[in-house]
Chains A and B, each alone.
Chain A
Amino acid sequence: MLVVRAINENDLDALYSMATQVGTGMTTLKPDMKMLGDRLATACASFAETIPPEERDYMFVMEDVSNGRIAGVCAIKGAVGLTEPFYNYRIGTLVHSSRELNVFTKMDTLYLSNDLTGSSELCSLFLHPDYRQGHNGKLLSKSRFLFIAQFPHLFTQKIIAEMRGYQADDGSSPFYEGLGRHFFKMDFHHVDDLTALGKKSFIAELMPRQPLYIDYLPQEAQEVVGQVHKSTAPARRLLEQEGMHYEGYVDIFDAGPVLQARVSELRAIRDSDLATVALNTDMTHACAPANPEPTLVSNTILKDFRMIVTQATPVNGAIDLSTTDQQLLRCHAGDTVRTLPLNVRKNNV
């Protein structure tokens, strides 16, 4: 039985062993006890609301309650770029045209930008390989949207997610080899580590500040602009189903896409509903739909936020949760829960 819940002080060791599994390319989850300890402290303070909303970092873990293992992790940052600059390339268009020569050239151009400063960020999603099955990935990823839907006032209008960029089979990034290497003169993974450690000042110091024509990059680099890492493709699809989309912002190192959405446009905000946990009666069971759809259900308590995916479906503002489900959510009959169909309804797409 899996539950996604707010992280707590006791999860540090599990978080560390999770981080050792991640590999390169995810800058926010490095196996470093000090970093993870700090992050955990921030997360706990966030759920306790003892720090201002823009400093918060809501981390969630997916726990397998049958054996106490941590199966996955994900997070939402209240705001990015407010203490250290947050860089992206924006892909803009420059048109070079001459009426006289009858030449019209449309050039994609990379602009170094801090445009996404202040956005809330979905980040640090990682699901342990042993648990990559069934609805687990969806539960983990989508749980964050349910959290945002429950507490929209904690977030800014814009929500973003940086997707890991394309890497070749040998782990190298064609985009980095075609661009960043000329300016940083070091390996992709080294640069990656430095950003993880928060030593980001070098980005401003070493990156070209002037816009760059994408056409100047080697073909291999051009091809991967806005392309995700193979293993990230499913995650991208999930986020896109939830209303996030690529608007031409990419990572400055690996050109992985940034997905973004206005919070008000998220499916979870539009389609999630509050429901009351129904009493455990025959009447309730009889009213349950015959062909239930998997549903994300969360409690409504910030400090101990918990989410599950269940086969119970809300009917007329009530949901018939099994005892186990109620235990997972730490709620009881009569409590309010938030529900959202796990899958996008076909006619809504």
Chain B
Amino acid sequence: MYVVRPVETGDIAALETLAAVTMPGVHTLPKTRDKIEQAVERSIASFAAQVDIPSEESYLFVLESLAERRIVGTAAIFASAGSNGTYFSFRNDVIQQVSRDLNICHNVHALTLCSELTAYSQLSSFYVDEALQHGPQAALLSRSRLLFAGQQPQRFGDRFFVPLAGVTDERGGSPFWDALGRKFFKMDFLDAERVIGGARNRTLIVELMPHYPVYVPLLPGDAQAAMGQIHPSGELAFNLLTAEGFEADEYIDIFDGGPILQAHKHALRTFTDARTLRVRTGDGQPVDGPLSNYAIANSAAPAFRAVTITCPDLEGCEAVALSPEVQDILRVVEGDSVTCVRI
């Protein structure tokens, strides 16, 4: 069994090990022991906090293999992107150019530095062990954040976005950065990410990034080609998120040109399809008919737990049968409510 739960102080060592092996392209996972400790503390405080208006909370979830007692994945959600600053991104604009005299009408693609994603809730730090990439656990981990958000709407914005790492070459260079950010920052892509710590809310972005639209046709071909393209490491996240209802194309990252997926919560399957059902104890007997994977979460905020189960279609049901083992993991008993969504 695998469970998704809020990070605990006991996970710090495990996270440190993970941080050492995660691939390039994931810039949002803290790397040093200090940073990891801070992130964990912040998450614990966030889960414990009474929240009316989303602010600087950041919730870090881990995927734990109960059999191995091992952390095999992480996923985070920031309550409000930019956290009291401004979250910067490039918006894909289309400038229509029409000349009646010449009978010319064409569209010019431009990138405009914008702060529209500020105060959206931001999903980040998604990482899952390679062995689990194709199983339901990856989907569970990605979705748990949204299940939690669905249970606790006051803690989050109405809109969500996820920046995915853009393409880089084998030396960690980014063609998009080379054509754009480098001209202003005068440093290598990875150096820039290091000094800024993966953040997109720093004053120095306003100070350094272009104030005026960047006309895409003027960028070199490789930079244009990199716009909105994901780093191969982000493919799983991209697929999970687009299946969830997130849409790419409108925004890209200001550093590497990677896609920023975004959606209103009403467009996300976890929000629209999640059902609250009562728990009953299953008899463990095999059932006939088609089976589906479901993510099941308790609704006990600081002690949030989510697992996957395989069961018949729950459409129209009022209760879901959970084995005593699963009830234990979720810390629920018969008669409690759980949130279910098909994976």
Contact = CB atoms under 8 A, between A and B. Distances in A.
A212 B213 CA distance: 8
A151 B219 CA distance: 50
Interface stretch (A92-100, A272-280, A289-297): A92-100
Interface residues of A, number: 32
A62 B130 CA distance: 83
Contact of A97 (B97, B202, B207, B218): B207
A185 B179 CA distance: 23
Contact of A216 (B102, B209, B215): B215
A212 B204 contact: no
A210 B212 contact: yes
Nearest to B216: A182
Contact of B99 (A96, A201, A218): A201
Interface string A176-209: 0011001111100000001000010110011010
A103 B208 contact: yes
Interface string B194-219: 01000000111001111111110111
A97 B97 CA distance: 33
Contacts of A212: 212, 215, 218
Contacts of B98: 205
A216 B218 CA distance: 6
Contact of B207 (A98, A199, A206, A217): A98
B210 A206 contact: no
A215 interface: yes
A206 B99 contact: yes
A105 interface: yes
Contacts of A179: 218
A178 B218 contact: yes
B interface: dominant SS: mixed
A119 B340 CA distance: 74
Contacts of A199: 101-102
Contacts, number: 87
A283 interface: no
Contacts of A210: 110, 212-213
B47 to A, nearest CB: 32
Interface stretch (B36-44, B183-191, B325-333): B183-191
B106 interface: yes
Contacts of B203: 98, 100
B88 to A, nearest CB: 14
B300 interface: no
Given A103-B184, A182-B218, A206-B97, 10 more contacts: A97-B208, A98-B204, A98-B207, A103-B187, A105-B183, A109-B212, A184-B104, A202-B99, A210-B212, A210-B213
Interface of B: 95, 97-102, 104, 106, 108, 110, 179, 183-187, 195, 202-204, 207-215, 217-220
11 contacts: A100-B203, A103-B186, A103-B204, A185-B104, A194-B102, A202-B101, A205-B99, A206-B97, A208-B213, A210-B213, A211-B212
